[in-house]
Amino acid sequence: KFTDRVLWLFSTPLAPTSSANAIMVKVVTCTAPVNIAVIKYWGKRNAALILPTNDSLSVTLSQDILHSKTTIAASPDFSHDRLWLNGKEEDITKNKRMHNCFRETRALRKQLEDSSAEPLEPLSTYPVHVCSENNFPTAAGLASSASGLAALVFTLARLFDLPTSTSDLSRIARQGSGSACRSLFGGFVAWEMGSRDDGADSLAVQVAPETHWPELQALICVVDDAKKGTSSTEGMQNTVATSPLLQHRIRDVVPERMRDMKKAILDRDFQTFAEITMRDSNQFHAVCLDTFPPIFYLNDVSRAIIRLIHEYNATSPDGRLKAAYTYDAGPNAVIYAPKQNMKEIIHLITRYFPGADFVDPYNFFPEGEVVGSNLPH
Ligand code: DP6
């Protein structure tokens, strides 16, 4: 779900002799959500176009809790494109990925301007000012690049009034950050790697909307909110160059997992969903270990959470899985589980990790029930 606001601002200074110096600015604000992959993207076959070595599949999390919010202003009076990230101006002169997104959306706007019967504002020629903020720690392994670049592309599309489909926009967002293409859709989303060299068929498609499986929920365990050591971009290229296990994963493992995972989602089959999610996270981290030199994203707390979830699943009376963990390029755990198990899982985690602060935006626990050290939110 995206919210947007479109404003045309005409701020007119006092005109000394003529009325020709009005400043025209168009401003749009949108938000985009975070997605957490259950079948991981790790490896590019073309680093410039961001074309992956395998398909991937993710779940988009509610924007109420985690989102990137981006405001973009366009004006002929701006001198150049500029970016402010979480309140601080960033130098984007060498930021190729951002320029890819500007170039692609401006080209579509130009087509619109050229083909329109009515004269359109030549927005494709105006410099833009981009202001973006996350309501969660950037680069803490919580996919801030995915929501950030998805918000950038979606806001540009709204600013330029592009009639482009969401999948076509995902192709542009992919060139900003691979995983960003999946954040343009809600619910369950596949990124089809495609086979073309120009990337025209490497885009995101929705497998099912968020309303399809409302009982499924995510618990985010922030183990460490510091910036990670090895970036995804750098890490995955080292894996492509050195890991034989990655080749096995690409060829023999992911295609079957994609088929089984899509079916599990459509059938709301938590058993299969959970098993593939945990196996895929484990194989992704095994591939990191198989990289030379190895990449370590998990720490002792991450591994303790893995053990805890397996022990919890072992207590299930009918042998059915009750929860699944997954980890991206960092130590933070995301636990997927049916809503009815969430209270138990939160109690378990806060008992085993007594210092944990629990943020309860959906009021899982009635007033007065102490869980962890209940942070106000
Ligand atoms: C582990 O999308 O951040 O989160 O395309 O280089 O920007 P770039 O990488 P990025 O990689 C995400 C990797 C992952 C797995 C996933 O989200 O599928």
Give residues with Cβ within 8 angstroms of 27, minimum separation 6. 6, 7, 9, 71, 72, 73
pLDDT tens by residue, 313-327: 999 999 999 999 999
The CB of 37 under 6 Å from ligand 1? The reply is yes
Distance 347 CA to ligand 1 centre (A): 31
- In terms of Cβ atoms closer than 10 Å to its own Cβ (0-12, 13-18, 19+), residue 337 is buried
- Looking at this predicted complex, what is its ipTM? 0.99
In the reported structure, the alpha carbon of residue 26 is separated from the centroid of ligand 1 by a whole-number distance in angstroms of: 32
Q: What is the mean pLDDT of residues 294-312?
A: 97
Please indicate whether residue 53, judged by its CB atom, sits closer than 6 Å to ligand 1.
no
Residue 11, pLDDT score: 57
Mean pLDDT in residue range 301-316:
97
For 59, the 3-state DSSP assignment is: strand
Q: With a 6 A CB cut-off, is 295 part of the ligand 1 pocket? A: no
**For the CA of 143, the nearest atom of ligand 1:** 4
- Predicted TM-score of the model (pTM): 0.91
The residue whose C-alpha atom lies closest to atom 6 belonging to ligand 1 is 233
Atom of ligand 1 nearest to the CA of 191: 18
How far apart, in whole angstroms, are the C-alpha atoms of residue 369 and residue 183? Answer: 35
In b/e form, how buried is each residue of 339-360, taking b as 16+ CB within 10 angstroms?
Answer: eebbeebbebbbeeeeebebee
Our answer on whether the CB atom of 183 is closer than 6 Å to any ligand 1 atom is no
Statement: residue 60 has pLDDT above 70:
yes
Cβ neighbors of 300 (< 8 A, separation 6 or more) are none
| CA-derived radius of gyration, the chain | 22
Residue 212, pLDDT > 60, answer: yes
Ligand 1 neighbour 178 (Cβ under 6 A)? yes
